[in-house]
Amino acid sequence: MSDAALTGMGAAALADALRAREVSTREVVDAHLDRIARHDGVDADGDVWHARPSEELGRDDVHAFLVVTAGSARAHADDIDRRRVAGEDLAPLAGVPLALKDVLTMRGVPTTCGSRMLEGWVPPYDATVTRRLREADVVVLGKTNMDEFAMGSSTENSAFGPTRNPWDLDRVPGGSSGGSAAAVAAGMAPLAIGTDTGGSIRQPAAFTGIVGAKPTYGAVSRHGLVAFASSLDQAGPFARDVTDTALLQMVLQGHDPHDATSDPMPRADLLATLRDGVAGLRIGVVEELESAGCEPGVRTVFLDAIATLERLGATIERVSLPHAPYGLPAYYLVAPAEASSNLARFDGVRYGLRVDAPSAEAMNAASRAAGFGPEVRRRIMIGTHALSSGYVDAYYLQAARVRTLIARDYASAFAHVDVLVSPTTPTVPFRLGERTDDPLAMYRSDVATVPASLAGIPALSVPAGTAEAEDGSGPLPVGLQIMAPLREDARNYRVAFALEQALGLDPDPGAHGGPRALPLARPQGGAG
Amino acid sequence: MTPWLEGYELVVGLEVHVELSTATKMWCGCATTFGDEPNTNVCAVCSGQPGALPVPNRRAVHDATLLGLALGGSIAPRCRFHRKNYFYPDLAKNYQISQYDVPLVTEGRLEVEVERDGELVTEVVGIERLHMEEDTGKSLHLGATGRLHGADRSAIDYNRSGVPLLEVVSHPDIRDPETAQAYLRELQAIVRTLGVSDARMEEGSIRCDANVSVRRPGAALGTRCEIKNLNSVRSLGRAIRFEALRQVQVLDEGGAIVMETRHWDEEAGVTRTLRRKETVTDYRYFPDPDLVEMTTTSEAVEAVRAELPELPAAARARLAAAGVPRAQAATVLAGGMLGLLDDAVAAGASAPAVANWLAGEVTGQLSAQDVAIEATGLTGAHLAELVAMVDDGTLSSTMAKQVLGAVLEGGGVEGPRAVAAARGLEQIGDDDALGAVIDEVVAANPDAAAAVRAGNEKAIGALVGQVMRATQGRADPRRTNELLQQAIMAGEG
């Protein structure tokens, strides 16, 4: 099999080929490393490859990875191959490569969270997610770019320069997990891990034409996930199809005694009902999220997707979540409030950047001023204010009350319907730099995704079609968001799978004809 | 009115921090050992590494519940942890996980005994709340003075970071330094009885801050000052007394008390301004999103209550009923020797006799040698044996003290009877053995014997002394006297 064929294959297909010994893990890993070396703007040298400084990156470099752990990935691959040859019983995804968002720790590999603040910090421990991946013999290729401390919706807030969208290299891949999403869309990895606090998996999945899921809060351990907003953060899977995404979530989820908020319930089987179809399912269209400033192109794709689901036998109902419009302001109080406290530990005392000064207090201030970028500083200030004596009731506590009301809205809605749907984002991916001077416009990218985050429910984005941008350029991907009650992640996958099968969309950015697209290598036809 | 404050009344409330002696820390599996090399009992969680999460220590919650019940408090069926946000280098996460609006325990009380005019009287101090939190690390300032000012550099030891702490907050019910001291001692006795803390002030495993104010009798509460750095029960009393007098002086001179935190200077015997309250940090408390609500049931609470041992107040009442003087009972309880006393009584000794030994000689010898009672291996059976040997005349009280010393020194491996036998410390009460010595003494001192016979009663003293010398003090003095009389009178013929 050619390298191009291998990097175009999905995780399940690769796993099958590996199991059948048609290809070795080492060949699969090398093919992906080669694609990264060619398209990502890394110095592909030695065991650890570093992304080039942003000023040295070219217009065609995706810049999905901050660091590529080529040496350890190859070693892991060789070890898997040895054990496979020895007849060892391997896990379902054994040997499949993966890109890990640089907000999850991996022992011995620097974790930056897209920030200068963590300079030089090498985590002394593995995140539970990382440990589970290793136990499943999924091969980690490297750590991916992200908005600094996961704060952002475009990956432009990375201290190491933005990631580009493989559908149009002049556009953003969304964020904050933009590096992971772009890596998958660009064929640099069939699987990736992102984290979602207010939409940081779903929005980049929609922007890069792939599948991304935010599991039920508590389904995946946060141990080793550098916290942005602890009550909202949840790690989850990216892949180019629904089955692969479900397979990866199966690896990630499960109770973890190292995380007090981890769900002690047995893990959900996401595959058992995957192919059950949507006939007879009641699907609710959320009025408030559908009308939330959607571009006409996005709206058309969304309505077509609804029509498809209806044709497949689902009942479509219009549902109201009256408090959903308050989700965005509530989110932008709760999340910064928690962040202001979570990020207090970055003080230059124990690890990371230290700017020397005559007193501990001055050293703290100087280090934080030098280490944090503008968006992080903005949110720390907002959050500090929201918790301050005299304001906490009007801001933080009021937002917490709104959060409860939104969760109740969902609970009442789910009394009538099985799942809820909305467009994942109101727009197609915007251009690099287009919103960097307008934080509110950037925050509005999350309007449809934050309500589910506040309620803790599982939500997933699946490609629903393509649309032109308002300036006529494109086509660009559009995602459908599916939301289910707490712990009913399987329903999201079931609906997404049905839609995916019915639409038969090609995940290859190159197949849609955009002039600045990076074509995904295809297993057939010799392209790439 | 407080007599020594001339027209003012003293009002004191105490905040006591009790470090729990759980094997592991509050949120992680690190050891809580005191005195280890700096930063050896540290992990990702208690050093505040990115991504590390706290998981509550069940034992700590149990121990806090036990102390709350011992103090007569109510246990909250649902409570939670908040973050108290402030920047300080020894605070690994730059927030302390504590409890805020809903503490684990509310409204308890503590009965204490206070000596007033030579008599012990009972006072009741209300307890507002008991909440759980975590300890911080410790800043070490390296350089000439050992203080921040003038130090070359600072280092931080995170061994103590995350050790479970209980904060016990009293109502401002205390009206004199003696009650404050008694309260602190009583709390120490209770936590030791429960076995939830070593409660050693010198190691910082129990720490006390005092909120002190004065007022005209019947007036509203005065402005208070919080006194920190109270390192012993004695400094607590001294600091309160100094602070009250200082406040009265300020008021008498027409000044006003400023709400502030003051530092007790043990050497100088004064309190000094540490920081003014109006500039104090806004702690921005909010529920810790890394932790879930803690819930309990009344069944679970009752199960913990069933574990409560006899508390010091009940033990005091029981000892009083058994005829043990109050002061001795207090010493026995404060020294953690009640178990020994009960064991000795179970082995047949009388409570007052054992208490007398424990409060007197045992306490004296331990403090002279600076050893802890647990380290000596002394058992109740030993004590019962010792008391019995004195009662039946086997040991004189002087010899008994020597025997006790030997038992303590020997680590309790050998009991009093074995020690006395091995060292030949038993009294010679046997008439034949004693008689032989006496006959020799009488024969060797005919003049003294004649003087006794002539009616000089006092002359016998010299002969008793001779017998004692000859037996190295082991002769039973009473029996010696009797046998001497017989021997002298018999020698007449």
Maximal C-alpha separation, chain A: 70
Nearest 5°: phi and psi at B212? -120, 135
- Kindly indicate whether the domain formed by B431-490 is annotated with CATH number 3.40.190.10: no
| Cα–Cα distance for residue pair A206/A210, rounded to 1 Å | 6
Q: Which residue shows structure tokens 């204010």? A: A385
What string of DSSP letters covers B428-481? Answer: B--HHHHHHHHHHHHHH-HHHHHHHHTT-TTHHHHHHHHHHHHTTT-B-HHHHH
Distance from CA of B326 to the nearest CA of A (A): 49
Instruction: Identify whether A176 is preceded by a cis peptide bond (ω within 30 of 0).
Output: yes
| Cα–Cα distance for residue pair A176/A212, rounded to 1 Å | 13
Nearest Cβ partner of A124 from B44, B85, B156? B44
Distances (CA, A) of B365 to A391, A464, B354: 61, 86, 15
CB A144 within 8 A of CB A130: no
Decide if A101 is catalytic.
yes
Distances (CA, A) of B93 to A66, A150, A201, A349, B40: 27, 19, 27, 10, 18
| Cα–Cα distance for residue pair A274/B247, rounded to 1 Å | 76
CB B26 within 8 A of CB B56: yes
Which of B286, B292, B293, B295 to substitute to test the interface with A, most A CBs within 10 Å?
B286
What residues of A are in contact with residue B83 (Cβ under 8 Å)?
341
pLDDT of residue B280: 59
Q: Is B294 an interface residue toward A (CB < 8 Å)?
A: no
**Cβ within 8 Å of A, B 333-392:** none
pLDDT in tens, B87-136: 999 999 999 999 999 999 999 999 998 988 888 888 999 999 999 999 99
Tokens standing for residue A86 = 């020895």
Distance from CA of B48 to the nearest CA of A (A): 7
Tokens standing for residue B229 = 């750095």
Distance from CA of A245 to the nearest CA of B (A): 24
Is the dihedral angle over the CA atoms A138, A142, A144, A149 positive or is it negative? Answer: positive
DSSP state, residue A511: G
Tokens standing for residue A259 = 């995380």
Q: What is the mean pLDDT of chain B?
A: 90
- Please, what is the angle between helix B446-453 and helix B477-490, to 10°? 90
| Cα–Cα distance for residue pair A29/A19, rounded to 1 Å | 15
Tokens standing for residue B313 = 């107040």
Q: Is B156 an interface residue toward A (CB < 8 Å)?
A: yes
For the beta carbon of residue B315, count every other beta carbon within 10 angstroms. 19
Nearest Cβ partner of B284 from A227, A229, A384? A384
* Nearest Cα to Cα of residue A348 among A103, A106, A121: A121
Distances (CA, A) of A449 to A125, A177, A493: 31, 14, 17
Q: Annotated catalytic residue: which of A200, A262, A367, A422? A: A200
Cβ contact, residue pair A124, B55, below 8 Å: no
Reading chain A (528 residues) residue by residue, the pLDDT tens digits are 777 789 999 999 999 999 999 999 999 999 999 999 999 999 999 999 999 999 999 999 999 999 999 999 999 999 999 999 999 999 999 999 999 999 999 999 999 999 999 989 999 999 999 999 999 999 999 999 999 999 999 999 999 999 999 999 999 999 999 999 999 999 999 999 999 999 999 999 999 999 999 999 999 999 999 999 999 999 999 999 999 999 999 999 999 999 999 999 888 899 999 999 999 999 999 998 886 688 999 999 999 999 999 999 999 999 999 999 999 999 999 999 999 999 999 999 999 999 999 988 999 999 999 999 999 999 999 999 999 999 999 999 999 999 999 999 999 999 999 999 999 999 999 999 999 888 888 888 899 999 999 999 999 999 999 999 888 888 999 999 999 999 999 999 999 999 999 999 999 999 987 889 999 865 444 333
Cβ contact, residue pair B87, A222, below 8 Å: no
Distance from CA of A528 to the nearest CA of B (A): 39
Q: H/E element holding B422?
A: helix B416-422
pLDDT of residue A31: 97
Cβ contact, residue pair B284, A388, below 8 Å: yes
Distance from CA of B174 to the nearest CA of A (A): 31
Cβ contact, residue pair A345, B55, below 8 Å: no
Which of A349, A367, A392, A398 to substitute to test the interface with B, most B CBs within 10 Å?
A349
Which of A345, A353, A393, A398 to substitute to test the interface with B, most B CBs within 10 Å?
A345
A236 three-state secondary structure:
strand
Cβ contact, residue pair A260, B291, below 8 Å: yes
Highest mean pLDDT among B241-255, B407-421, B439-453: B241-255
Q: Is B216 an interface residue toward A (CB < 8 Å)?
A: no
How does A97-127 read in b/e, with b if 16+ C-beta sit within 10 Å?
A: bbbbbbbbbbeebbbbbbbbbbeebebebbb
Decide: residue A338, CB within 10 A, 0-12 exposed, 13-18 middle, 19+ buried: buried
CB B358 within 8 A of CB B365: no
What residues of A are in contact with residue B156 (Cβ under 8 Å)?
349
> What does chain B come to in residues?
493
Distance from CA of B312 to the nearest CA of A (A): 37
| Cα–Cα distance for residue pair A64/A177, rounded to 1 Å | 10
User: Which residues make up the CATH 1.10.10.410 domain(s) of chain B?
Assistant: 431-490
CB B40 within 8 A of CB B159: yes
Cβ contact, residue pair A125, B290, below 8 Å: no
> What does chain A come to in residues?
528
| Cα–Cα distance for residue pair A286/A283, rounded to 1 Å | 10
Q: Is B138 an interface residue toward A (CB < 8 Å)?
A: no
pLDDT of residue A378: 97
Helices (H) and strands (E) in chain B, counts: 16, 16
Cβ contact, residue pair B286, A105, below 8 Å: no
Distance from CA of A192 to the nearest CA of B (A): 19
List residues of chain A with CB under 8 Å from any CB of chain B: 104-105, 111, 113, 118, 121, 123-125, 127, 222-227, 229-231, 257-261, 337-338, 340-341, 344-347, 349-351, 360-361, 364, 384, 387-389, 392, 396
**pTM recorded for the entire structure:** 0.88
Taking the C-alpha atoms of B269, B271, B272 and B273 in order, what is their torsion angle to the nearest 10 degrees?
Answer: 170
The C-alpha angle with vertex A306 and arms to A305 and A308, in degrees rounded to 5, equals 65
Cβ contact, residue pair B289, A261, below 8 Å: yes
For the beta carbon of residue B303, count every other beta carbon within 10 angstroms. 13
* Nearest Cα to Cα of residue A188 among A122, A139, A153: A139
- Determine the topology of domain A3-323+406-512 in CATH: Amidase signature (AS) enzymes (3.90.1300)
List Cβ neighbours of B483 (8 Å cut-off, separation of 6 or more).
Answer: B431, B434, B435, B438
* Nearest Cα to Cα of residue A231 among A37, A511, A450: A450
**Cβ within 8 Å of A, B 431-470:** none
| Nearest residue of B to residue A360, measured between CA atoms | B89
Domain ranges of chain A: 3-323+406-512
Nearest 5°: phi and psi at B429? -105, -5
Decide if A200 is catalytic.
yes
CB B383 within 8 A of CB B357: yes
Which of A347, A364, A398, A403 to substitute to test the interface with B, most B CBs within 10 Å?
A347
**Cβ within 8 Å of A, B 8-67:** 44, 47-56
| Cα–Cα distance for residue pair B395/B413, rounded to 1 Å | 20
Decide if A262 is catalytic.
no
Q: Is B153 an interface residue toward A (CB < 8 Å)?
A: no
A vs B: CB pairs below 8 A? 99
| Cα–Cα distance for residue pair A282/A469, rounded to 1 Å | 31
Q: Is B295 an interface residue toward A (CB < 8 Å)?
A: no
DSSP state, residue B32: -
Instruction: Identify whether A477 is preceded by a cis peptide bond (ω within 30 of 0).
Output: no
Distance from CA of A114 to the nearest CA of B (A): 14
CB A161 within 8 A of CB A513: no
B169 three-state secondary structure:
strand
pLDDT in tens, B152-200: 778 999 999 999 999 999 999 999 999 999 999 999 989 988 999 989 8
